[in-house]
């Protein structure tokens, strides 16, 4: 009995897969959510501010991820002409659209931890 061809993926399914891939390509990596979450909370942070807030991240990763996020227009980077040059990172309007996702994710993570420690 011949089975339907390999490609019987429904269209809504295809669309969802592509959408999730798009989102993940921008948000992949260990640190993006943390950086975005931090910048959503406290706007205008410097490089060292972020280092202090995001426990565990190193300078290389932070700088690389910041570049990624800037390239994708989720954050902005402005160099201030102060005496020791400082830089301000801030979330963009576009980046703010991620707030619900990050909030949900954090909420779910906390609930998950509770449910695990309970059992």
**Site residues, DNA (CB under 7 A):** 1-3, 28-31, 46-49, 56-61, 63-64, 66-67, 77, 83-87
Query: Which entry of a second copy, DNA, none binds 104, CB below 5 to 8 A by partner kind?
Result: a second copy
Q: What does the alpha-carbon distance between residue 59 and residue 65 come to, in Å, rounded to a whole number?
A: 10
**Closest CB to DNA among 10 and 28?**
28
Residue 64 binds to a second copy (criterion: CB under 8 A): no
Q: Are strands 75-80 and 86-91 parallel, antiparallel or unpaired?
A: antiparallel
User: What's the min distance (Å) between Cβ of 79 and a second copy?
Assistant: 21
Question: Which long-range CB contacts under 8 A does 49-53 form with residues at least 24 apart?
Answer: 50/89
- Contact indicator for 111, 45 with CB cutoff of 8 Å: no
User: What's the min distance (Å) between Cβ of 11 and a second copy?
Assistant: 12
Subset of residues 84 to 103 that bind a second copy, contact rule: CB under 8 A = 94, 97-98, 100-102
Tokens of 32: 């993006």
């Amino acid at each position: 009995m011949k089975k339907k061809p390999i490609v019987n993926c429904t269209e809504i399914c295809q669309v969802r897969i592509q959408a999730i891939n798009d989102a993940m390509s921008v948000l992949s990596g260990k640190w993006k959510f943390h950086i975005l979450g931090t910048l959503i909370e406290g706007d205008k942070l410097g490089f060292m501010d972020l280092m202090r807030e995001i426990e565990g991240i190193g300078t290389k990763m932070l700088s690389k991820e910041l570049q990624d996020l800037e390239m994708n227009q989720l954050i902005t980077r402005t160099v201030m002409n102060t005496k020791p040059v400082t830089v301000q990172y801030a979330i963009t309007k576009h980046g703010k659209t991620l707030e619900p996702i990050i909030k949900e994710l954090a909420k779910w993570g906390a609930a998950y931890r509770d449910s695990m420690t309970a059992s």
